Amino acid sequence: MEMSEQEIIGKGTWIDKLASELLEREKSLGRNLDIIRVESGLGASGVPHIGSLGDAVRAYGVKLALENFGYKSDLIAYSDDLDGLRKIPEGFPDSLEEHLAKPVSLIPDPYGCHDSYGMHMSSILLDGLDKVGIKYEFRRAVDTYKKGLLQEQIHTILQNSTKIGDKISELVGQEKYQKYLPYFPVCANCNRLYTAEATEYIADEKKVKYHCHDAEIGSKMIKGCDHQGEADITKDLGKLAWKVEFAARWAAFDIRFEAYGKDIMDSVKVNDWVADEILGFPHPHHVKYEMFLDKGGKKISKSLGNVITAQKWLEFGSPKSILLLLYKRITGARELGFEDIPSLMTEYNELEDIYFGRIKVDNKAKLTKSKGLYEYVNLLNPPKQSTTHVNYRLLVELAKIFKENRSERVMKKLLDYGVIKNPEPEIEKLIELAGNYSNEFDEQEKIQVDLDDTARKALKILVDALGAEEEPEDIQNTIYQIAKSNDVQPKDFFKILYQIILGTSRGPKIGPFISDIGRKQVAKTLSEYV
């Protein structure tokens, strides 16, 4: 069914739909819409992977959509750098052991380049955001608490701690906060967080009484120092428990949108209630996204060491390929690996061709959505004209052949094949990315190609011809003849070969291209489809 005119919202993507739902809700709440703030939390305790980046990139998409609807909007990127270090991430020095349970902003940077371990981690994520062109206002937990920006909210939450403890137990079955306050002072004696458990709030002095004792953190017992003390919530460092901290932040910063991963669903449920009922601030509009999984189906995790960082991705793919990955859709858990880069690079070129009218799309809704997606991937600032497209897989294949003076030799081949008219700096950059990819990964992802029996039979004959001791005299002609004598349209046969070798339906003249890659190598690739 075609979408009718009025059903297309904004640029026709899920981002527009989300922004429009958010606006509807804000209007029904009767809130001031002079500025609509969206927030993304940045973890500062582990290596930031593409999922953490995705949170901020998508929030920025919502900001862009709101601006496109005519509203002013800002993205706040909030680094939770008062969080305590629960375990040492894969590949980090064991010297961090003594700092377990300390807030990450109070732990020295093991690499000595930032003012703390937390800032080292946050800066990796911020660098990723800078590299893909996301604009944000950076805020840190350590400053937020030191400047007392959440003071009012902390005071209200602690005065209602009994009610909150009971509600947490009712909503998510966690009983801990019926015994302790949802606030952790940093122990004045040993600088640890989570070991100092607060039992009483003296409201008129704004102080919590606490006792620092052994606590289980990240499945490890951390020794407390037995210090008993009082912490002043207006002056001393401490932090709200996660079950209530979002709510305090939303109210203090006036946040209207925050997405969340399904791993913190419980926390969001409680925070929404605290915002609405305790702080009298209607909780922000949410969207839940699925986590990225690695290709083995395991969650991509900072501590497992199977981390796909933006920095590593950008050695092989363009910033646009990351934005396309994140803006394509938001729901559904997705397996993610560097081997997705070639098809994302190709898909971006296709979107660009649709946007500039070189590929015709008849379905109006699909056309609007594809153009809209292209505009979001270009952060609503699309180029005036298309770039020169060179198939990424073609470059990877050529990069495998030419390891020395790669850039100029691959460029020369592209000119010989008639793929490009002149060498351009952008193509040089592409050759470099595809070259890095071919150095790092031997195997490309096997491309799905639908073959019927006649095509399969013709392919088998070609495999034998290419694999033979004797080099066929004219590969182009050999392929043509095999197709003809086996009831396959030559043009269809060429198309199948392009699909298998390049993942696309066309490419340079196939005969010379196969001799360049190496006929036996091609025979091996084709044989997997026989």
pLDDT in tens, 60-87: 999 999 999 999 999 999 999 999 998 8
Tokens linked to 216: 């289980």
Whether 263 and 140 share a structural domain: yes
- What pLDDT, in 10s, does the model give residues 313-334? 999 999 999 999 999 988 766 7
Q: How many residues does the chain have?
A: 530
Structural domain contains residue 522: yes
Whether 458 and 430 share a structural domain: no
Whether 227 and 249 share a structural domain: no
Range name among 30-39, 300-309, 329-338 with the lowest pLDDT average: 300-309
| pLDDT of residue 521 exceeding 80 | yes
Residues of the domain holding 431: 392-440
**What's 192's DSSP letter?**
-
Structural domain contains residue 519: yes
Whether 90 and 211 share a structural domain: no
Whether 120 and 216 share a structural domain: no
Please state, in angstroms and rounded to a whole number, the distance separating the CA atoms of residues 37 and 289.
Answer: 19
Max distance between CA atoms of the chain, in angstroms, equals: 94
Structural domain contains residue 18: yes
Whether 75 and 134 share a structural domain: yes
Burial 239-264 (b: 16+ CB within 10 A, else e): bbbbbbbbbbbbbbbebbbbbbbeee
Query: Residues 437, 341, 525, CA angle at the centre, nearest 5°?
Result: 65
Structural domain contains residue 352: no
Band (216; pLDDT cuts 50, 70, 90): confident
Q: Tell the residue number behind the tokens 């958010």, with chain if given.
A: 22
- 302 marked as binding residue: yes
pLDDT of residue 6: 53
Whether 34 and 124 share a structural domain: yes
Whether 89 and 190 share a structural domain: no
Single out the residue in 384, 416, 440 at which a domain terminates: 440
% of residues, the chain, pLDDT over 70: 95
> What CATH number did the domain enclosing 275 receive?
3.40.50.620
| pLDDT of residue 497 exceeding 50 | yes
For the chain, how many structural domains are there in total? 4
| pLDDT of residue 450 exceeding 90 | no
pLDDT of residue 234: 93
Structural domain contains residue 146: yes
- What pLDDT, in 10s, does the model give residues 12-29? 999 999 999 999 999 999
Whether 497 and 483 share a structural domain: yes
pTM over 0.85: yes
- What pLDDT, in 10s, does the model give residues 383-438? 999 999 999 999 999 999 999 999 999 999 999 999 999 999 999 999 999 999 99
Looking from the CA of 90 toward its CB, the CA atoms found within 13 Å total 10
Whether 256 and 228 share a structural domain: no
Whether 134 and 30 share a structural domain: yes
Structural domain contains residue 343: no
